[in-house]
Structure 1
Amino acid sequence: MSSSASLRNRLIIAASAWIAFGMVLAWLILSNVFRSHVAQQFDDELFVHLAELKRLTHVEDGRAVLRAPLSDPRYDVENSGFYWEIQQQGNVLARAPSMKAAPLNSPADGRSDNGVHTHRIQGPTGELLVAESLEWKDPGKPPVQFIIGTDKRHLDSVLDSFNSTLSWSLTALGLSMVAAAALLILYAMRPLAQLNVALHDVRSGRLKSLPGTYPSEVQPLVDNLNSMFASTTELVQRARTQAGNIAHGLKTPLAILTDEAYRLKAGGCDTSAETLLAQCRKMETQIDYQTTRARVVASRLSPGASADVGNVVSEVIAALSRIYAHRGLHFEVDMPAALRVACEAKDLQEILGNLIDNAGKYARDKVRVSASATYSGLIDIRVSDDGPGLPPEAHDVVFNVGERWDTQSAGSGLGLAIARDLVTLYGGKINLGTSPLGGLEAFVQLPAGE
């Protein structure tokens, strides 16, 4: 993956973040609603028990007696967290069997009504939620205060249990929604993945156009790409034809000029003839170089270029073996089968033909050609010989058009320049170095094809 996130991952991350936000918001809302509901239930239960306590209580002579126990047995269990108490002016008239600690201290708010009021106070076993009410049994005496309460821990226990269940339930729901969203996004992005594979096949040479049908949102893009591929192929053919026409148009007059130069030389005008011949050779070199370059640029624009390295090497060596047969030159090939580069076969022949021919010119006994694939999607090709090699300062010079380090040998000085330009135009690189055989080694790296 590139440094920036893919569209698929962005959509999945955005959907996950939105689902997570929704789950957290749902947890907060449901938890608060449930808290309010349970708290109201606790209050209602206290009100019912308070009314029951008042109904069952008989107050006489500073004492309060219940005609029957409360219906909830938890008020009879010691320190159960369910308590009631009857007071008058701070004096305890009666209390629940569960009470064994100090009297309940309900806030003295100076009220004069007999309505029910709720408070939170400290009870025998922790914070207590209480409901209390005043009742005037005798108009001439202070009111009797009825207090009933439940430990807040009982409310918290119910809330904690609900929140725990709510948490894992919403987490499971959120994860299932994220998984469903991811599957939906992957399904929706599948046509783009198929398009990417098809484009790769076109670039690697397996296809000339994008096949198949796509959703209505993607199909116009596919149609436009196929039209572009078709027009590019047509432009390439025109460019190749034009390059050939230019070469033919220039070489015919150049051949006439060369012939005239030889006539001048035969007529005794040696100086003028040599000048013309030298300039004609330079023109011929430039024409060959520029027309080859134009042809390669056109080939590079054409989609679907791919060549088998092994086949090209075999063809080149088969041709050169006959040329160098009188020298007994031995050619070694070391490469795996079905190794392909993203390059036109003719251009790969041009590259390797120049490199292997150059190695054959200077080799004493042996020329070795090896190739291997890298993990970065490139193909490494090495051409080595056991000849005299070149000094390091000559490695860059020999790539210049018309330049030769050994001026005594035959040649135009164009082969390595063409090889360099071809490799560069296909997005590769070429370098010279010292061969393990003792001579010169040419190292070429080209994108892998299919």
Structure 2
Amino acid sequence: MRLIFKPKKRLLTRMLITSLAIIALVGFGLAWSVTILHAQNSYNKETSQLIAEMPQIAAELRENDLIPQNNDWLQENNKQKRYLMASCDENYQGVWTSSLAIDNNLVDICERFKSIADTTPPYYINMADNKSYFAFKLPVELNQNQYNMVVLKDADSVENDFKRFKRLTYLRLAVVLGLAFILLISAAYWGMRPMVRLKQELQAITDGKKQALSDGYPQELEGVTQALNQLLIQSSEQQTRYQNAMNDLAHSLKTRLAAVYAITDDDKLSKADASEKIMQQVGQMDQLVKYQLKRAMLGRQGLIHEQTQVLPMVEQLSQMLFKIYHEKSVKFSCDIESSISFPMNKGDLMEICGNLMENAFRLCISQVSISAQIDHSGNAILIVEDDGPGVEEALKERIIQRGVRADTQSPGQGIGLAVCNEIVNSYHGILSINESHLEGAKFTIKIPNN
């Protein structure tokens, strides 16, 4: 079996390689330009020196009768110096060659220079003596004729200087690249520290040690961290919504299961009647499951508001509760006209009525009363009362929170009233708790008719 090593892709490595490649390219380009400029500068420097020596060149030309003897320009500049040079016409045909060039067998200076005349300086020429020379072109006019004076200088010293300068230039470049590499690594790790911090905080959130990303990230990452925090909030809200929906479903199904048990234990019912009533409870359970799943996905605001009749639902729930609490012989009074409808989803209204009526039947001594009406402002009002122990003043605000129960003697999760309050708030309504004329608790629901 052949093992294939596949290195991990690292953003930091890509940044370093790209940055170093750019710096190296720019650095070598600058070094190349500097060396060319240095060579041209050396050539210009030598040219300037030759121009300064023009009187000496002219003295050698006069010695060979190329310049008239009465030239005033040479009266004070008659010092002679021997040069490797030649005089060429406009087509670079040899006119004259200096004695020093002839002594060194360099008789074809003009012809060799012609091959490089169209290039840019500095001019290098390899001559017959297998040496390299710098060639300097000096246009001059002698006896009203235009000539090109080509002066040769040994290139060894200039080339050695050029090589030394080139070495120093690339050595400096290597030092700069080394420092740039160190600075790039430092900058890269410094720049990547917020990403490392982001990774650590995300891991802490995954481990449950944090709830959200902290502030103080660079401006470039603020949009990302804010989007992640928003995503975490939405995820947390969705998880809470699902958890609450499952708890609410379990709470709602508990009452229906209790009704099923009561129906199966009722010897007065025939098998057909018991089956029919059990199927009714199963149908309600099915509706509850669908309702809670829909609410978990969409949230309460996603549920469609509709008009739901109150009386049929109250009658259906009371029959179920009579079966569950048949041993209490509850006196139940209902003051609801058949025409009254609430601006609520059917599932929401069932949750409210079911929770309030189940609490009233469970906690009452012997009486439960429920009424519904539409006031003059069009608000829907539902009132559920009992003659039980009531609710202490200190608990009235707390029992509408999840997990808080007023009656700690009986089993339960303490989520029924919290569900009612959440539903009422989603319709911009109000749930209030007061003392009933039956000397027990009075729960009033007020839903605006939007």
TM-score by structure 2 length?
0.43
Larger Rg: 2
TM-score, with normalisation over the residues of structure 1? 0.43
Q: Which has the higher contact order (CA 8 A, sep 6+)?
A: 1
